[in-house]
Amino acid sequence: MSLLDVRDLTVSYAEPKRGRRSGARRVVHGVSFSLDQGEAVALVGESGSGKTTTAHAIMGLHRADGGQILLNGTDIARWSSRRMESVRGAQIGLVPQDPGSSLNPVKTVGAQIGETLRIHRKGDRRHVRDRVAELLVRVGLTEEHATRYPHELSGGMRQRVLIAAAIALRPQLIIADEPTSALDVTVQRRILDLIDDLRSEFGTALLMVTHDLGVAAGRADRIVVMKEGRVEEQGPASAVAYARRPEQEAFRAPAPEAPVALAVRELVKDYGAFRAVDRVSFEVRQGTTHAVVGESGSGKTTTARMIARFVAPTSGEVEVGGAAGGRDFRRHVQLVYQNPYGSLDPRQSVRRIVEEPLRNFRLEGSAAELIERVGLPADLLTRRPRELSGGQRQRVAIARALAVSPRLLVLDEAVSALDVGSQEQILDLLGRLQRELGITYLFISHDLKVVRQISHTVSVMNKGKIVESGTTRDVFTDPQHEYTRELLAAIPEPVR
């Protein structure tokens, strides 16, 4: 008997209309798969494929319309939320995707880890405190972290806190929903290694929800591929990953004869006694893409914000070819943020958002033309950001940036929050726009797979300094610095 056996699972969402429910939209259609004790299975698919909804239905966070969810032979598919409380934490632990929004900002992390123990009445206050300390040490933190609040921890530390909470009662199954999607490659590897170690120690089964085929292939025994709410394929990880491995992109060669579009010289940023950026210098030629890569805290985003003049440098110079100061600079240098939902006014329509730069600079042009240029249909002009997918919102953000015909587009982790399908579409769009408009990109990213695909040249940052620069081909195929080699070694590969 399997630990978990999902049979013909169907899930629907109620669709509101004018304040009333107008029926239901089915999002999961007859999904079936199983998972044995100690086994790791990956649910893989793009945004909207139904993988997270399926995982949440197993946890009782979405109610199933039909089918069965057998946990140790018992069907829990239609258990009430109250009845499922005996399962959550005790038999199934959940590691959610975003530790930033999953942790309560006004409670210490120790109190939040201990909550599961208190709900299931696992000892008195002293026992809970001791168990929390033990769990924190087990996931690579310290007892002292129990008194910290989430905002005092890095992204990797917060993810470790969520793992500690998930394993508090040693459940038989851990569901990890995109546990590393927002983390840089080296932190990602450490978190996945930790999950593997815990599985080996406790014999825990793992259901990993991910859009990253490389992560799935490297960490799972079997892969279940979902598309449009259905299982498209499933089988051993090596076989499925090999059949679906992406073709390796050819390196993009820079154009040495092109003039310099961006020159950064000896850029420094100090915050009191802390030096966040330390004498950073590089050049980008017109019509090419230069990537700045590094882990969280390496200084890459601070560098980008100084180049875009959102942060004043302590010293150093930034020159953008043909752009003067003041409003003229703002017109010719535009910034596209990581999270388009946070950078788009939720109260405005797409038309108003895209037309805003045209009004500000008193330029001619239309939102319809700009939306068409980024591959969106005209009927989206009347919608608001919440009615769009992540990929559509990022296209709107790019359309808004293009409205003023900038010479330089600074893209700060512009695809890191998107699933792999949406990423590919945005990268294809950026490549087409560069060919058509001759625009120059500064691409800030922790994702080396994306950098390899889109950039002509690259600078690697570590602790505020550039440790290596060159063409993307040279840096990726013959890295000279140990830190660069460590970053490249941490990239999850689709096939081992």
C-alpha angle 344-434-480 in degrees, rounded to nearest 5: 100
CA–CA dist 132, 141 (Å, integer): 11
Query: Where do we find the tokens 């934490």?
Result: 89
Question: What's the confidence (pLDDT) of residue 423?
Answer: 81
pLDDT band per the 50, 70, 90 thresholds, residue 495:
very low
Instruction: Look at residue 292 and give its three-state secondary structure.
Output: strand
**Residues 415-432 pLDDT 10s:** 876 777 778 888 889 999
Right CATH number for 4-244 from 3.30.70.2390, 1.20.1050.10, 3.40.50.300, 3.40.50.920? 3.40.50.300
User: CATH top-level class for 260-489?
Assistant: alpha beta
Identical fold between 4-244 and 260-489: yes
Whether 114 contacts 107, CB under 8 Å: no
E strands, 143-259, in order: 173-177, 205-210, 222-227, 230-236
Whether 50 contacts 226, CB under 8 Å: yes
For residue 262, which amino acid is it?
A: L
Whether 223 contacts 195, CB under 8 Å: no
- Give the global pTM: 0.74
Whether 40 contacts 199, CB under 8 Å: yes
Give buried/exposed letters for 451-477 (b at 16+ CB in 10 A, else e). Answer: bbbbbbbbbbbbebbbbbbbbbbebbe
**Residues 130-163 pLDDT 10s:** 999 999 998 889 999 999 999 888 878 888 899 9
CA–CA dist 192, 187 (Å, integer): 9
**Residues 181-214 pLDDT 10s:** 767 778 888 888 889 988 888 889 999 999 888 8
Whether 386 contacts 414, CB under 8 Å: no
Mean pLDDT of the residues in the chain: 88
pLDDT band per the 50, 70, 90 thresholds, residue 367:
very high
Contacts of 222 (CB under 8 A, 6+ apart): 39, 40, 41, 42, 234, 235, 236, 237, 240
C-alpha angle 334-394-455 in degrees, rounded to nearest 5: 65
At residue 23, does pLDDT exceed 80? Answer: no
At residue 442, does pLDDT exceed 60? Answer: yes
pLDDT band per the 50, 70, 90 thresholds, residue 231:
very high
- For the beta sheet containing 20-35, the strands, ordered from the edge strand earlier in sequence to the opposite edge, are 20-35, 4-17, 64-71, 74-75
**Residues 238-273 pLDDT 10s:** 888 767 666 555 678 777 778 999 999 999 999 999
Instruction: Look at residue 80 and give its three-state secondary structure.
Output: coil
Angstrom CA distances, 225 to 8, 43, 470, stand at 15, 6, 38
State the average pLDDT over residues 466-492.
92
Contacts of 199 (CB under 8 A, 6+ apart): 38, 40, 174, 205, 206
What does residue 221 show for φ and ψ, rounded to 5 degrees?
Answer: -80, -40
At residue 291, does pLDDT exceed 80? Answer: yes
State percent of the chain over pLDDT 90: 57
| Domain boundaries of the chain, sorted by first residue | 4-244, 260-489
State percent of the chain over pLDDT 70: 93
**Residues 89-122 pLDDT 10s:** 899 999 987 777 789 999 999 999 998 888 887 7
pLDDT band per the 50, 70, 90 thresholds, residue 18:
very low
Please give the radius of gyration of the chain, using alpha carbons only, rounded to the nearest integer: 24
pLDDT band per the 50, 70, 90 thresholds, residue 496:
very low
CA–CA dist 223, 188 (Å, integer): 19
- Would you tell me the crossing angle of helices 185-202 and 482-489 to the nearest 10 degrees? 50
CA–CA dist 174, 405 (Å, integer): 49
Report how far Cα 103 is from the mean position of its chain's Cα atoms: 17
